[in-house]
């Protein structure tokens, strides 16, 4: 919105209110557009309902008694509202074949180092690529960037052999180390892009004051890096929490180190039709990522837009 | 329980100590030149990537020329198996179906939704609904959809518990076992991936729609362009680079799809795809050679998509 007449006799407040008016004007125009196209609203609602119903149905199911789930559809809940927490009690317990409690704890133990380690290492590497001149810098950076496209499938078998030979099989180390290594190319790329946007003058000024690289990294850059670090942290958190392939390969099916997703996948494989357990188990596995996502959505989206193209 | 957390704290402490040593050496090296600092900063990453990615990838490529036990060299035998055995051809067909259908449908839905809710009241909440599947695991998403497809034998007195079959019954049809008959069952699996990825497409595309300069839209409006013309001549050309990024990203993600197939059908009923077949051959059937060849194939298939993506980015930057 640009006004062609210069408004020289305006106070900043008046200018702000004018700007506000123009945005409300835009909103009003949009609302008008909305009202004149009931079809648009209709389609939007249809899509939203289509996308929500599957989850909603399973959520209602997770609170119904086993017998009812097996004999009637979840849509009968409105005529026969019988609710229970028994399913959640079963899946949250640490006993029995359907108890996912241990797995749930493992997920936390797996996810924290798997987020911290790559963030720290990538910060150091990104700084070196962004602010230190050395021979072969560009070549190395392109190599790290290219490693993003290596499918993790290509690495799993030899890595498993390595871990077994090193006597690490059955501990958390293989999962921590693998997730950390796989995350590095993307993390370095994201953080490097962000560091490059920081004005050179800031770094030069600190150099003038006699600060070395370590000091500049911790004193000048890190405080400015918070949004980028948060974006990557959330990204990596969701990735590790929801991962099945890496966990299945390195943690097997035991309750010692396997995360909740593996527990859920096992349950789905062995108790194919136990919907009272599968539904509750699915929501137990979802609660953490959904809370993280909803409370930190802004950062996550920012990370996506910055080119978080992992998969 | 506490033991596990102690292990974790210990691991983090070990790691902190390592980083501390690196920083100390780096700050000592500082006095001579920046090169020493660069070396120290890059060392842990180089070690991690060397041992965790480069070496295993090299090993796997070698492994793919060896037999099931990994002892005798058989040249391109495993690759021959992939392109000639009837089982593997089904796997390739399914993978092609996944990669061709998923990106386009998910992107189309994401784009449509982004345009529909753009500037509407409650836009953020409306977007969160579609985006939510992005944040849950593929395994949970598969369970959600497996329940939609659930089948009960068609007998008097038995009610359907899966929504899709119930809808069919309400419309006067007979319930189906959706996940059993190929090749349609693959399409029912693809639905799950579309459901997950549409939110990603919507988020990226919505951001680029909002970045279209207001005066461009205004000018088109003054020229009396209608809604469809606006989409065709203003919106689409402006967001084309983002559409390419979204399509290629979803295509790469789809190529590696494993959790959905494993959870929904376990790869039975002719639904397996390359990433799932890699897992079964490597860890179930103990055919390491074929597993390695499938992993390498996955790698080879990703490359052209990435190259196309980079080229498009270059082209749009040059414009």
- Consecutive 10-residue averages of pLDDT for chain A (311 residues): 38 50 49 59 90 94 90 87 89 81 92 94 92 86 88 93 90 93 92 86 85 83 87 91 93 82 89 88 94 84 59 34
Same domain (yes/no): A73, A126: no
What is the biggest distance separating any 2 CA atoms in chain A, rounded to whole angstroms?
A: 78
Helix, coil or strand: residue A129: helix
d(CA B213, CA B231): 14
CA B207 vs. chain centroid, Å, equals 21
Same domain (yes/no): A87, A165: no
Give B70-73 contacts, CB < 8 A, sequence gap 24+: B70/B288, B70/B289
How far from each other are the two terminal CA atoms of chain A, in whole angstroms?
A: 39
Question: Which residue in chain B has the smallest CA separation from A51?
Answer: B130
Last residue of a domain, one of A91, A121, A145: A91
Q: Please, what is the Cα angle at A46 between A44 and A47, to 5 degrees?
A: 65
| B52: chain A residues, CB-CB within 8 Å | 155, 159, 177-178, 180-182
d(CA B74, CA B72): 6
Percent helix / strand / coil, chain A, rounded to 5: 75, 0, 25
Range of the domain at A74: 14-91
The residues with which B66 forms a beta bridge, in sequence order, are B73
The residues with which B73 forms a beta bridge, in sequence order, are B66
Same domain (yes/no): A44, A183: no
Question: Which residue in chain B has the smallest CA separation from A160?
Answer: B56
Q: Identify the CATH number of the domain in which residue A207 sits.
A: 1.10.3720.10
How far from each other are the two terminal CA atoms of chain B, in whole angstroms?
A: 58
Closest listed residue to residue A217, CA positions, set A116, A140, A115, A128: A128
* Number of Cβ within a 10 Å radius of residue B204: 24
Q: Please, what is the Cα angle at B183 between B181 and B185, to 5 degrees?
A: 60
Q: Are A157 and B292 an interchain contact pair (Cβ–Cβ within 8 Å)?
A: yes
Q: Are B56 and A121 an interchain contact pair (Cβ–Cβ within 8 Å)?
A: no
Structure confidence at residue A271 (pLDDT)? 81
**Domain annotation covers residue A7:** no
Same domain (yes/no): A206, A290: yes
pTM metric for this prediction: 0.88
For testing the chain A interface, which of B34, B43, B56, B62 should be mutated: the one with the most A CBs within 10 Å?
B56
Question: Which residue in chain A has the smallest CA separation from B30?
Answer: A212
Same domain (yes/no): A109, A65: no
Q: Do the Cβ atoms of B123 and B162 come closer than 8 Å?
A: no
**Domain annotation covers residue A229:** yes
- Burial group, residue A81, by CB count within 10 angstroms (0-12, 13-18, 19+): exposed
Q: Hey, is the C-beta of A30 within 8 angstroms of any chain B C-beta? A: yes
* Number of Cβ within a 10 Å radius of residue B276: 24
d(CA A276, CA A264): 13
d(CA A20, CA A14): 10
Q: Do the Cβ atoms of A40 and A34 come closer than 8 Å?
A: yes
Same domain (yes/no): A120, A38: no
Separation in Å, CA B87 to CA B67, B291, B305: 18, 14, 26
**In chain B, which stretches have pLDDT less than 50?**
none
**Domain annotation covers residue A3:** no
Structure confidence at residue A82 (pLDDT)? 85
d(CA A227, CA A296): 11
Residue numbers of A between 100 and 159 with CB closer than 8 Å to B:
105-106, 109, 112-113, 116-117, 120-122, 124-125, 127-128, 132-134, 137, 140, 144, 147, 149-151, 153-159
Same domain (yes/no): A151, A51: no
Q: Do the Cβ atoms of B162 and B151 come closer than 8 Å?
A: yes
Structure confidence at residue B143 (pLDDT)? 95
Q: Please, what is the Cα angle at A125 between A123 and A130, to 5 degrees?
A: 90
**Domain annotation covers residue A266:** yes
Last residue of a domain, one of A58, A91, A124: A91
Shortest Cα distance, chain A CAs vs residue B106, angstroms: 12
Last residue of a domain, one of A69, A91, A113: A91
Structure confidence at residue A106 (pLDDT)? 92
Same domain (yes/no): A51, A153: no
Q: Structurally, how many domains does chain A consist of? A: 2
d(CA A110, CA B91): 33
Q: Which residues of A93-106 are buried (b: 16+ CB within 10 A; e: fewer)?
A: eeeeebbbbbbbbb
Q: Are B19 and A124 an interchain contact pair (Cβ–Cβ within 8 Å)?
A: yes
């Amino acid at each position: 919105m640009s006004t062609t007449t210069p408004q020289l006799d305006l106070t900043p407040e008046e200018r702000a209110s004018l700007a506000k008016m123009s945005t409300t004007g835009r909103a009003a125009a949009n609302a008008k557009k909305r009202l004149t196209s009931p079809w648009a609203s209709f389609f939007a609602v249809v899509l939203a309902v289509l996308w929500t119903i599957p989850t909603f149905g399973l959520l209602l199911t997770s609170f119904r008694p086993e017998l009812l789930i097996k004999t009637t559809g979840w849509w009968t809940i409105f005529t026969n509202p019988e609710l229970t927490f028994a399913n959640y009690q079963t899946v949250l317990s640490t006993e029995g074949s359907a108890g996912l409690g241990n797995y749930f704890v493992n997920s936390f133990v797996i996810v924290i180092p798997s987020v911290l380690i790559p963030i720290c290492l990538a910060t150091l590497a990104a700084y070196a690529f962004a602010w230190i001149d050395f021979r072969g810098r560009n070549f190395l950076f392109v190599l790290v960037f290219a490693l993003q496209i290596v499918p993790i499938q290509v690495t799993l078998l030899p890595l498993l052999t390595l871990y077994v030979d090193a006597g690490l099989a059955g501990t958390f180390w293989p999962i921590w180390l693998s997730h950390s290594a796989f995350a590095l190319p993307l993390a370095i790329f994201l953080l490097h892009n962000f560091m490059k946007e920081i004005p050179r003058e800031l770094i030069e000024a600190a150099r003038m004051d006699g600060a070395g690289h370590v000091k500049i990294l911790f004193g000048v850059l890190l405080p400015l890096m918070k949004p980028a670090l948060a974006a990557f942290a959330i990204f990596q958190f969701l990735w590790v929490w929801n991962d099945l392939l890496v966990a299945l390969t390195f943690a097997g099916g035991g309750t010692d180190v396997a995360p909740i997703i593996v527990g859920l996948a096992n349950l789905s494989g062995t108790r194919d039709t136990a919907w009272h357990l599968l539904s509750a188990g699915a929501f137990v596995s979802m609660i953490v990522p959904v809370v993280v996502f909803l409370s930190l959505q802004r950062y996550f989206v920012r990370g996506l837009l910055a080119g978080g193209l992992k998969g | 329980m506490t033991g596990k957390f102690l292990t974790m704290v210990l691991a983090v402490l070990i790691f902190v100590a390592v980083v501390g040593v690196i920083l100390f050496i780096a700050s000592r090296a500082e006095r001579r030149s920046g090169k020493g600092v660069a070396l120290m900063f890059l060392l842990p990453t180089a070690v991690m990537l060397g041992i965790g990615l480069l070496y295993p990838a090299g090993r796997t490529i070698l492994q793919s020329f060896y037999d099931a036990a990994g002892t005798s060299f058989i040249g391109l035998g495993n690759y021959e198996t992939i392109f000639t055995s009837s089982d593997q051809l089904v796997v390739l067909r399914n993978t092609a179906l996944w990669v061709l259908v998923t990106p386009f449908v998910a992107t189309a839905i994401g784009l449509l939704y982004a345009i529909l809710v753009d500037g509407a009241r409650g836009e953020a909440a409306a977007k969160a609904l579609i985006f939510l599947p992005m944040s849950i695991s593929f395994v949970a998403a598969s369970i959600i959809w497996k329940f939609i497809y659930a089948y009960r034998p068609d007998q008097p007195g038995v009610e359907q518990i899966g929504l899709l079959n119930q809808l069919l019954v309400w419309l006067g049809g007979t319930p189906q076992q959706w996940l059993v008959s190929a090749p349609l069952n693959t399409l029912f699996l693809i639905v799950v991936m579309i459901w997950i990825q549409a939110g990603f497409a919507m988020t990226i595309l919505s951001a680029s729609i909002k970045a279209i300069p207001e005066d461009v839209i205004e000018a088109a409006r003054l020229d009396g362009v209608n809604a469809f013309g606006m989409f065709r001549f203003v919106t689409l050309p402006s967001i084309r680079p983002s559409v390419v990024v979204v399509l290629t990203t979803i295509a790469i993600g789809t190529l590696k799809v494993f959790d959905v197939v494993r959870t929904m059908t376990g790869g039975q009923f002719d639904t397996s795809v390359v990433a799932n077949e890699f897992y079964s051959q490597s860890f179930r059937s103990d055919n390491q050679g074929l597993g390695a060849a499938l992993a390498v194939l996955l790698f080879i298939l990703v490359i052209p998509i990435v190259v196309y993506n980079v080229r498009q980015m270059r082209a749009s930057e040059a414009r």
